[in-house]
Amino acid sequence: MIADLIIYNIHKLYNPIEKPPVKGINMSNIDVLTHAYIAIKDGKILKVSQGDFKHFIDAKTTLFDAKGSVCLPGFIDSHSHLVHGGSREDEFEKLKQGTPYLDILKAGGGILGTVEKTRWASFEQLYHQAYKSLDTMLSYGVTTLEAKSGYGLSLKHELKQLEVSNKLNHDHPVEVVSTYMGAHAIPKAYENNREAYIKNIKEDLISIKASHLTNAVDVFCETGVFDLSETRDILETAKSLGFTVKLHADEIDALGGAGLGVDLGATSVDHLMAIKDEDIEKLAKSNTIANLLPGTSFYLNKTYANARKMIDEGCALSISGDYNPGSCPTENFQFIMQLAANYLIMKPEEILNATTINAAYHLGLQKTKGSLEPGKDADIILLDIPNLAYLFYHFSINHVTDVFIKGEVVVKNKRILRNTYETN
């Protein structure tokens, strides 16, 4: 078969080879090809190999010289709060002085402060702010992103966030996967009647499902937010309606959210800085992904999740950016990966599996994304580095030079080619 595009002169190509979920010791397993090429047809990978590729080309085939770059699957950032109004730099000084994150929330700041800004923002304002962030993420090699709602805390405004995400998914090269998170906090109007708000969430799930804007539901299971019983109630209702479920779990206090997530068959349990040992054991026996977010620990100056223990116990891990205005305001996904190397003590191979195939798995995209296999989407990044380890050694700069999404070059020589931000 003749290819539409050949990416050749690849110095080294690193690729996940294990079927997901990739657990424990298997997270160190990847394939490495030298002097490689990738043949692409109709936006899908046709062949990944070494040597001669002349039998894949004719006069219409485009040849792209990788110039000795390293090649990886596109990064999948599987936890973000992309769509929101405004920013929260006014809280930064409080955080530096040691004011607890949950105390800022109780005082009407934190999530609730962003809720007010998001409710007041127009659809267009939310769209353009998020589009600009997506451009930055794309430039750092992110080709797929999960985006949660949760800054509306009413059906009208949650739907507005999800509709923005849906439009971004159609307009921007990065594939955006949406998650409903009405259970992100208790809004001010319900602070003395949380039962009524939880009842509203469960009723709103019917409308969310009918909107066809998302198939996933997340809950912030934490002290002062939603307890174990409330989380179970919301997520069991979501499951009965056909949603997949996930949790913000054991971020600050060891409530047992990770264990609850396993019991509910959650696709992922996220954060886990305070996870109990017995819940690590439960995770290891399940297919629920431990989705770790080291950028939040860095920004809040908190303990990092014990990734080494989780891997040694046999868990499947993913690494995500948690881009949000309050606890991780950065779009630099490579820096998040470097934090995973330096503070989660993860190996380069483990981080690659965690940001590609395992991330694809818990988003339900493993059949089309997460590795460079024939038949999968040609989501490919080229990096100006000599080897994979260098990506984590030389930190806090952008190593990505070129990005392909579904076989189309969207970043070339560090310049975004398909940027419609200025015209929307």
- pLDDT tens digits, residue range 384-417? 999 999 999 999 999 999 999 999 999 999 999 9
List residues bridging with 14 in a β-sheet. Answer: 32
Q: What is the pLDDT of residue 423?
A: 42
List residues bridging with 175 in a β-sheet. Answer: 144
Residue with tokens 């804007």: 213
User: pLDDT band at residue 105, thresholds of 50, 70 and 90?
Assistant: low
For residue range 67-77, list pLDDT tens digits in order. 999 999 999 99
> For 316-364, where are the alpha helices, taking DSSP H only?
333-342, 348-354, 357-362
Residues of the chain with CATH 2.30.40.10: 5-74+370-416
For residue range 289-311, list pLDDT tens digits in order. 999 999 999 999 999 999 999 99
Neighbours of 11 (CB within 10 A): 19
Is the separation of the CB atoms in 40 and 6 below 8 Å? yes
Whole-number average pLDDT of the chain:
95
Our separate counts of H helices and E strands in the chain read 15, 17
76-362 topology per CATH: TIM Barrel (3.20.20)
Q: Reply yes or no on whether the pLDDT at 110 is more than 90.
A: no
Q: What is the pLDDT of residue 346?
A: 98
User: pLDDT band at residue 103, thresholds of 50, 70 and 90?
Assistant: confident
Q: What is the pLDDT of residue 344?
A: 98
- Is pLDDT larger for residue 424 or for residue 117? 117
Cα–Cα distance, 149 to 158 (Å, whole number)? 6
pTM given for the model: 0.96
For residue range 152-211, list pLDDT tens digits in order. 999 999 999 999 999 999 999 999 999 999 999 999 999 899 999 999 999 999 999 999
Is the separation of the CB atoms in 110 and 101 below 8 Å? yes
List residues bridging with 383 in a β-sheet. Answer: 70, 400
Q: What is the mean pLDDT of residues 47-71?
A: 97
What burial class does residue 277 get, using C-beta atoms within 10 Å of its C-beta: 0-12 exposed, 13-18 middle, 19+ buried? Answer: exposed
Q: What is the mean pLDDT of residues 235-249?
A: 98
Single-letter amino acid, residue 388: L
Looking at the chain, the whole-number percentage of residues with pLDDT higher than 70 is 97
Cα–Cα distance, 247 to 237 (Å, whole number)? 14
Cα–Cα distance, 282 to 257 (Å, whole number)? 12
Cα dihedral 49→55→59→63 (10° resolution): 10
Q: What is the mean pLDDT of residues 13-29?
A: 98
User: pLDDT band at residue 99, thresholds of 50, 70 and 90?
Assistant: confident
Neighbours of 36 (CB within 10 A): 23
| Strands across the sheet containing 317-319 | 75-77, 142-148, 175-183, 216-221, 244-249, 268-271, 289-292, 317-319
Residues of the chain with CATH 3.20.20.140: 76-362
Reduced to 3 DSSP states, what percent helix, strand and coil does the chain have, rounded to the nearest 5?
40, 25, 35
Cα–Cα distance, 141 to 138 (Å, whole number)? 5
Cα–Cα distance, 389 to 352 (Å, whole number)? 11
- Residues contacting 195, CB < 8 A, separation 6+: none
User: pLDDT band at residue 100, thresholds of 50, 70 and 90?
Assistant: confident
For residue range 319-374, list pLDDT tens digits in order. 999 999 999 999 999 999 999 999 999 999 999 999 999 999 999 999 999 999 99
Tokens at residue 47, please? 């062949």
Q: What is the biggest distance separating any 2 CA atoms in the chain, rounded to whole angstroms?
A: 70
Cα–Cα distance, 416 to 403 (Å, whole number)? 9
Is 5-74+370-416 a domain of CATH 2.30.40.10? Answer: yes
Residue with tokens 């038949």: 375
